[in-house]
Amino acid sequence: MSIDDLIDDFAFLDEWEDRYRYVIELGKELEPLSEAEHSPENKVPGCVSQVWLVNELRKDAAGQPVLHFRGDSDAHIVRGLVAILMRLYSDKTPAEILDIDARATLQKLGLDEHLTPQRSNGLYSMVARIQSDARAVAATA
């Protein structure tokens, strides 16, 4: 499912309670992290809940390097936010990742209006981490 599909799904849900339940359901679909991947090195600073992000450098069909992300959290709603970010950023080239305007996309979902300031800060800490990973890969390419 692409981020555009997700935006369409959100548009069909009128009530924010339904949208929150949907976000929680998205979190249940995350690729699992191993126990070892729940490490301090993979933990995202700036999040109230515990969040871990892992990236793997892969090649797309054209042989271009892409970053595949996986993540986890100890909070259900945050796991859903991680799942949304995976749809937004995973399996893209570093240049594509750095070109994505996360705020604009997340505004289309209406998340900025309905997250607490702490969750919003944590969400953008995850975005910053993903962009940092993309910059690091781009610097070595």
Please give the structure tokens belonging to residue 16: 């924010």
**Per-residue pLDDT at 131:** 97
Residues of the chain with pLDDT under 70: 141
**Per-residue pLDDT at 116:** 85
- What's the mean per-residue pLDDT of the chain? 92
CA dihedral 126, 67, 140, 134 (to 10 degrees): -30
**Per-residue pLDDT at 76:** 95
Give the domain 3-140 fold. Answer: Sufe protein. Chain: A (3.90.1010)
**Per-residue pLDDT at 48:** 86
Q: In the annotation, is 47 catalytic?
A: yes
**Per-residue pLDDT at 70:** 97
Catalytic residue among 3, 23, 26, 47: 47
Between CA 131 and CA 13 the distance in angstroms is 30
